């Protein structure tokens, strides 16, 4: 059974655009590379041809995976987000108790995560540790560098 993933409308549109580009431009580029390599002679000893065929296989695999993701994707309506508890698409202001510093993150699907943009995956250690918490709760989260303690200051959508 395929895994259902949840996305923002923008995130799903981005995936669909990437899929369309791979199906059209990506396949056309690979076909051209194969044709050029084929024109260079004996295919049994043609490293360019082998490389182009390998690239074609990887492209088709990527297309297949994206098709599966898009087929099983669901768009989240952020107007229905419960702001009493941290959930996917929640924007959470947290305080790192050790550093006494505030951070604000939006919890998103793994494919939409971008730490620089303040979007962390619900699959990340911090994302998992924050899920289900309410304002005032403390989350003790195990990360590769050790344990971090965060206080939930504010939840919004």
Is the Cβ–Cβ distance between 129 and 137 less than 8 Å?
A: no
Q: Strand order of the sheet with strand 146-156?
A: 119-121, 101-108, 91-96, 146-156, 138-143
Burial annotation 95-110 (CB, 10 A radius, 16+ → b, else e): beeeeeeeeebbbbbe
For residues 37 and 132, give the distance between their C-alpha atoms in angstroms, rounded to a whole number.
55
pLDDT score for 157: 79
Token pair for 89: 């698409």
Is the Cβ–Cβ distance between 52 and 38 less than 8 Å?
A: no
Look-up of token digits 């024109």: 39
- 5-75: which CATH number, 3.40.50.10440, 3.40.50.970, 1.10.287.180, 3.30.470.20? 1.10.287.180
What φ, ψ does residue 146 adopt, rounded to 5°? 130, -150
pLDDT score for 1: 55
For residues 143 and 138, give the distance between their C-alpha atoms in angstroms, rounded to a whole number.
15
pLDDT score for 83: 80
- 78-156: which CATH number, 1.10.3720.10, 3.40.50.1820, 3.10.50.30, 3.40.50.720? 3.10.50.30
Strand ranges inside 40-121, DSSP E: 73-75, 91-96, 101-108, 119-121
pLDDT score for 58: 96
Q: Walk along the chain (157 residues) and give the pLDDT tens digit of each residue.
A: 567 787 888 888 999 999 999 999 999 999 999 888 888 777 677 788 888 899 999 999 999 999 998 998 888 776 767 788 998 888 999 999 989 999 999 998 888 889 899 999 999 999 999 999 999 999 999 988 889 999 999 998 7
Entry pTM: 0.68
pLDDT score for 150: 93
């Amino acid at each position: 059974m395929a895994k259902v993933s949840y996305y923002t409308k923008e995130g799903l549109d981005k995936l669909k655009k990437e899929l369309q580009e791979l199906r059209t431009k990506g396949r056309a580029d690979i076909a051209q590379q194969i044709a050029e390599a084929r024109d260079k002679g004996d295919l049994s000893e043609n490293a360019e041809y082998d490389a182009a065929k390998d690239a074609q296989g990887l492209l088709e695999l990527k297309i297949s995976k994206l098709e599966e993701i898009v087929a099983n994707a669901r768009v989240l309506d952020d107007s229905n987000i419960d702001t009493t508890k941290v959930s996917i698409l929640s924007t959470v202001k947290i305080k790192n108790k050790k550093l006494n510093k505030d951070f604000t993150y939006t919890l998103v699907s793994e494919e939409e995560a971008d730490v620089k943009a303040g979007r962390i995956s619900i699959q990340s250690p911090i994302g998992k540790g924050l899920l289900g918490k309410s304002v005032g709760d403390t989350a003790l989260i195990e990360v590769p560098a050790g344990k971090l303690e965060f206080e939930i200051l504010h939840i919004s959508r």
